[in-house]
Chain A
């Protein structure tokens, strides 16, 4: 992606919402120190959470929050792809289906009946899926919510025509750089950190709880070793499997690891 000033003095940026809580869009609005710089560097052409003013496409950069959970969204995301040159999915709903992807392990209609008086008026898909399951995505920013610093780094990299700097190191590195005591070793709490992409700054372990993987699987993660290391610490049945099946549950590496953990647990019970 090249957003060179000569050909395009102010790249047009669009921010879209799909099925989500809006928290990641808020992370953009929360860029208080950088917002003025951002507004001077790009033309925010479509961002309904920020302004009702809409400038027509096509757009240079599209940022998509949320997952695809309805037939309407499954169509709309194709239109979004068509009007954006470079497409970024923002946050764990957009990158891994989000917490609403828990329906992928259950029956969506049972949830609908439990929640709504008249589920027959709803139109929904059986699954919640990431944006990349529907259209080609150029860059993914993980996190629930995303880290503000990562958003700045991606936007800066796009404007400066360089690769964004987020190395695939695990959360453990961020714990140790901060001097956070390991919750697994000192407290016996299961933590996905060893196999989860860093970027959050070790937010959960720094507050005495295990990582539940909202920044998604690290490309270098060893998931069979992870479940072998964490399952002995389970404080209730299938705690490790449940961590894997939470915010990033639809991520292929997490799905496979959760299945393996559940299989290992049922194998133990059978014995």
Chain B
């Protein structure tokens, strides 16, 4: 049926194959469709060409330092919980050439003028959308906006997906970011066994959906989705008390716990690189042997890298204790003063993908216990 009254805020029941056609329409409109894909026993975000590339019938079981795929055989596309990659790789690329320069008498600079890709993100969870909104505050400030991020962000299409089956490392309810999406998407999907419930969030989303064949959702279908979303929120086992943040951590710089966690921490930077809000980078030059050409590249970096805090004369964070403390007091403390929001969305990536299994919710609780003792 084609419903002329489709407006922003409308919800329709979309037969699953129709999403394939909707993604094809996005590509016809100049978008690259990128989304979840099963690769190397995990979920990665990469270019997808339709439903066939989505991880159908896949669940994950996540615990500190462990991610395991489970095949369910179910005809569902969005049951999995995201893997180590996040959408930041599309907005804040891990490597990006800023310019090349050639010496011909004097240095001639050539800025990177590659066309900016236009991405349609397929399957953005509530915590992940919250993370994009946090990075917006980092990269799109009034006094300065990062052009690489801004151009990608402006052209972005977001097809969001409500989470129905949180994993053991998730704690978005504590951070107030999920599992249900509220706003900020073009379209939002809730997946049921037979059908996608799709909510319209933007004019572009509305016009794409208007070209598809859909039904008005029955009360039964809507109830089923609502109940599933409520169950998802209730089933979240991991929690983090945020009531005394950001002051708790920034006021406890000499807590014993920092020394203790510094012994377990590998300083390998994995937590910061999987974190959808971390934004540290480095700029490196690659000069040729003759010293006549160079390429400057912006690359992901991390506050866990010793050279990151190296300044003339020494390192301001010379040991792992000080680097872990810097990360957590920034993420759950100083971030608030800097960007008026905490830097954590409760996605649990840093817990799952820490090879040492360090759990920031435990670390915060331990420091709180130390204060009370």
Contact = CB atoms under 8 A, between A and B. Distances in A.
Interface stretch (A85-93, A119-127, A182-190): A182-190
Given A191-B355, A194-B267, A222-B320, 10 more contacts: A37-B289, A170-B266, A173-B269, A176-B84, A177-B299, A177-B300, A185-B65, A194-B268, A222-B266, A225-B356
A46 B270 CA distance: 44
A229 interface: yes
Q: B40, B83, B302 — which one has the most chain A CB atoms within 10 A of its CB?
A: B40
Interface string A176-216: 11111110111110010111000000000000100000000
Contacts of A179: 44, 46, 85, 89, 94
Range class of the B interface residue count: 35 or more
A185 B290 contact: no
Interface in B323-367: 352-353, 355-357
Contacts of B99: none
Interface string B238-269: 00000000000000000000000001111111
Contacts of A34: 288-289
A131 B86 CA distance: 44
A34 B44 CA distance: 35
A195 B265 CA distance: 11
B289 A38 contact: yes
B307 A181 contact: no
A185 B355 contact: yes
Interface in B266-313: 266-270, 273-274, 282, 284-291, 299-302, 305-307
B307 A169 contact: yes
Contacts of A169: 269, 301-302, 305, 307
A181 B288 contact: no
Contacts of A41: 289-290
B306 A181 contact: no
A71 interface: no
Contacts of A177: 94-95, 273, 299-300
A173 B264 contact: no
23 contacts: A152-B288, A152-B289, A159-B289, A165-B284, A165-B285, A169-B301, A169-B307, A170-B269, A172-B268, A173-B269, A173-B273, A173-B305, A176-B269, A177-B273, A177-B300, A181-B41, A181-B42, A181-B44, A186-B68, A194-B268, A220-B306, A225-B263, A225-B265
A228 B264 contact: yes
A177 to B, nearest CB: 4
B5 interface: no
Contact of A37 (B89, B265, B290): B290
Given A41-B289, A222-B320, A229-B65, A172 B270 contact: yes
A150 B172 CA distance: 43
Contacts of B299: 177
A74 interface: no
B39 interface: yes
A172 B270 CA distance: 7
A185 B356 contact: no
A194 B270 contact: yes
A173 B302 contact: yes
Contact of A187 (B41, B263, B267): B41
B266 A208 contact: no
Contacts of B305: 167-169, 173, 220
Contacts of A167: 282, 305, 307
Nearest to B315: A220
Determine which residue in A220, A221, A226 has the highest number of CB atoms from chain B within 10 A of its CB, and name it: A220
A155 interface: yes
A40 interface: yes
Interface in A133-166: 152-153, 155-156, 159-160, 165
A181 B289 contact: no
Contact of A40 (B290, B291, B302, B355): B290
B306 A168 contact: yes
Given A165-B285, A173-B302, A179-B94, A186 B266 contact: no
Given A34-B289, A165-B285, A176-B94, A181 B39 contact: yes
Given A182-B355, A184-B65, A194-B355, A225 B266 contact: yes
B145 interface: no
B255 to A, nearest CB: 19
